[in-house]
Amino acid sequence: MSAGASQQPKCPHCGIIPGLPEWSENVGENETARFWRCVACGHEFETRENLVERQPSGAELAEEFLPNLVVE
């Protein structure tokens, strides 16, 4: 199961957001495993996060920072 850094996982058993992970561990050069215990039901589960972010293209950057730039 994967979860991004900006997204809190929900317990797959009861759907409650567990808060903070019990512990985290680097499992590869760019991957972190997080181990959770739900505070509501006690279910334990793991998420993995890839720490390498995709780099935006030049066109994506231009659209984000210069969306209304018109040259005539």
Please tell me the predicted confidence (pLDDT) of residue 3: 43
Q: Is residue 40 part of a domain?
A: yes
Cα separation, 63 vs 56, whole angstroms: 11
What is the pLDDT, as a whole number, of residue 4?
A: 42
Distance between CA atoms of residues 18 and 63, nearest Å: 37
Closest CA to 48 of 39, 35, 38, 59: 35
Residue 32 lies in a domain: yes
Tell me the C-alpha distance between 20 and 10, whole Å.
11
Residue 47: its pLDDT value, please?
94
Q: What global pTM score does this model have?
A: 0.59
Q: Please list the ranges in the chain whose pLDDT falls under 70.
A: 1-6, 53-54, 67-72
Task: Establish if 7 belongs to a structural domain.
Answer: yes
Tell me, what's the pLDDT at 34?
95
For residue 31, being part of any structural domain is answered with yes
For residue 63, the enclosing domain spans: 1-67
* Res 29: pLDDT: 82
Into how many domains does the chain fold?
1
